[in-house]
Amino acid sequence: MKILVTGGAGFIGSAVLRHIINHTENSVVNLDKLTYAGNLESLISISNDARYAFERVDICDRAGVERVFKEHQPDIVMHLAAESHVDRSIEGPSAFIETNVIGTYTLLEVSKLYWAGLDAERRERFRFHHISTDEVYGDLENPEDLFTEQTPYAPSSPYSASKASSDHLVRAWHRTYGLPVIVTNCSNNYGPYHFPEKLIPLMILNALEGKALPVYGDGSQVRDWLYVEDHARALYLVATEGVVGETYNIGGHNEKKNIEVVKTLCDLLDELCPQSQFNPHFSLVKYVQDRPGHDKRYAIDATKIKNELGWTPQETFESGIRKTVEWYLANSDWVEHVKSGSYQQWVTQQYGE
């Protein structure tokens, strides 16, 4: 098969592309606009493979998307392209509406017309897999509660509201036009190649440089952490074996308070960098004003994907977080290249000097 992955130069998208090339016989097309968070260096290991193709196209550019469909004739679309950072969405929501809502609409329209023009066999095989987030559900009040596929939507931030909008559009195109769609909602991802605006890479890189480790509020917010390569396996499984019209929640079964995550990272750095002048790294923690509308707790019930498709995460939080820290320590060149001037400006704007 040929699989079109939107946002393939991003964190999760690049993991999906590496998984498909390294573990299947399928071909892939990486469609990415290459915003600040898109990095082709994350794909160097597969970029020369004959089964890999790259198209620099904005998903809002209908003519460009139509050209890609016409030239590459995909059997599956895996839609990951999105603006995804909550803090950025609070500062500037318009980009999130444009990419996550208008971009998804554009991709759905092109996919619908393309699918309608396929022969009967290829129409039956075609899938539109929309990758979303658990943040569309809002947050959980009771410590025993979990997000299921039936949890009502209650997004809190411009980011999660834009993703909720895109989810609704995808399901509407299935109900109204019959487009064969599948939706997945995942918990917080972490792992190699993660852009350093997000919690885990930001803490690792700041600690290595002896910079403050900014923690929102008291750090008691709870997240379910999913190793990105486990997520990539799940996404491919859903795209190829999932039931049309269904939603699958994907979680790591690893609920941690943010401050616990930071403490674990600091302990690992103390262990792996014993000569560092910044030991103990946890002394670098700086509590900063909480962000507006900050959700307190996310937690995924991933029973459905386990029972129906046989997926469970291979990494525990302990094994995955160690692999992540070791990767960042071993890949300083990637880190230096991704830390552009715009990234530095963003960190200064968000957290101060």
Tell me how far apart the alpha carbons of residues 204 and 217 are, in angstroms, rounded to a whole number: 19
pLDDT given at position 346: 60
What band does 34 get if pLDDT is binned at 50, 70 and 90?
confident
User: Which listed residue (32, 58, 83, 134) is catalytic?
Assistant: 134
Mean pLDDT of the chain: 94
Percentage of residues in the chain having pLDDT higher than 90: 85
User: Which listed residue (135, 139, 229, 295) is catalytic?
Assistant: 135
pLDDT given at position 160: 96
Is 159 designated active site?
yes
Percentage of residues in the chain having pLDDT higher than 70: 96
Q: Is residue 222 a contact partner of residue 259, using CB atoms and an 8 Å limit? A: no
C-alpha dihedral sign at 85, 89, 93, 97: positive
What band does 202 get if pLDDT is binned at 50, 70 and 90?
very high
Is 124 designated active site?
no
- Domains annotated for the chain, with CATH where assigned, are 2-195+226-254+294-317 (3.40.50.720)
Using DSSP's 3-state secondary structure scheme, residue 219 falls into coil
pLDDT given at position 336: 84
Tell me how far apart the alpha carbons of residues 209 and 89 are, in angstroms, rounded to a whole number: 27
pLDDT given at position 340: 67
Q: Tell me the per-residue pLDDT of 274-295, one tens digit each, with 9 for 90 and over.
A: 999 999 999 999 999 998 888 8
Tell me how far apart the alpha carbons of residues 243 and 308 are, in angstroms, rounded to a whole number: 9
pLDDT given at position 352: 64
The two beta strands, 247-250 and 127-133, are: unpaired
User: Which listed residue (52, 159, 193, 236) is catalytic?
Assistant: 159
Q: Tell me the per-residue pLDDT of 88-147, one tens digit each, with 9 for 90 and over.
A: 899 999 999 999 999 999 999 999 999 999 999 999 999 999 999 999 999 998 888 999
Residue owning tokens 């999932």? 242
The alpha helices in 8-96, defined as continuous H runs, are: 11-23, 62-72, 86-91, 94-96
Residue with the larger pLDDT of the pair 303 and 196: 303
Q: Is the pLDDT of residue 347 over 60?
A: no
Q: Is the pLDDT of residue 351 over 90?
A: no
Q: Is the pLDDT of residue 335 over 60?
A: yes
Is 248 designated active site?
no
Angle at 275 between CA 273 and CA 276, to 5 degrees: 70
Q: Is the pLDDT of residue 342 over 90?
A: no
- Any idea what DSSP says for residue 25? S
